[in-house]
Amino acid sequence: MVDIGDEAPDFTLPLAGGEAYNDIEPFTLSEAIPDGPTVLAFYPAAFTSGCTEEMCSFRDSMGLFDDLDAQVYGVSVDLPFSQNIWIRQEELNFPLLSDWDHEVIYDYDVVLEDMYGMLEVAERSVFVVDTDGVVTYKWVKEGDNPDFDELVGEVADAVAEVAEA
Catalytic machinery residues: 51
- Angle (CA) 18-20-21 rounded to 5° is 95
Distance of CA 136 to the CA centre of its chain: 15
Give the type of residue at 151.
L
Query: DSSP secondary-structure letter at 60?
Result: H
Residue 97 and residue 26: Cα distance in Å, rounded? Answer: 9
| Closest to 93 measured CA to CA, from 14, 15, 18, 13 | 18
